[in-house]
Structure formats: C-alpha cells, structure tokens
Amino acid sequence: MKGEDREGARGVGDEIKAAGVRCDVVTYNSLLQLYVKGEDMEGARRAVEGREAAGFRSRGSTYN
C-alpha cells in the first residue's frame, strides 16, 4: 500500500470509537480493507466482529 499510512488510519479508527461515534457500514468495510491489505488478520477479525456487534450483517461483497 504505497503512500498510505496504515498506522495513522488505525489510529483514526480508535479515535472514532473512543469518541463514542457510531461507525457505519462504510467505516467497517474501510477498516477491514485496510487490515487485509496490511496483512493484519487480527485487525480484520476485530473489524468484522465490530461490524456484526453494531448490527451490520457481513455479506459476500464484504469479503470480496
């Protein structure tokens, strides 16, 4: 992911959650994509769990 700041993006995700802002489906999908591209499968698992805990269903398009 040339030119992208993975750590900074992860920090933004943490800040969003700490501020009590409810993430939407786009936020969860973006975080999931970030973790997968960075080969952080633990982060990807947490993104999927967070998405489902927030009431968003995962579909095939989520994993593509």
Q: How many CB atoms lie within 10 A of CB 51?
A: 21
Tell me the pTM. 0.66
Question: Measured between alpha carbons, how far is residue 8 from residues 11, 34, 54, 62 in Å?
Answer: 5, 11, 23, 23
- What tens-digit pLDDT sequence spans the chain (64 residues)? 444 666 666 677 678 778 988 888 888 888 888 888 888 888 888 888 888 888 888 776 666 6
For tokens 């998405």, name the residue.
51
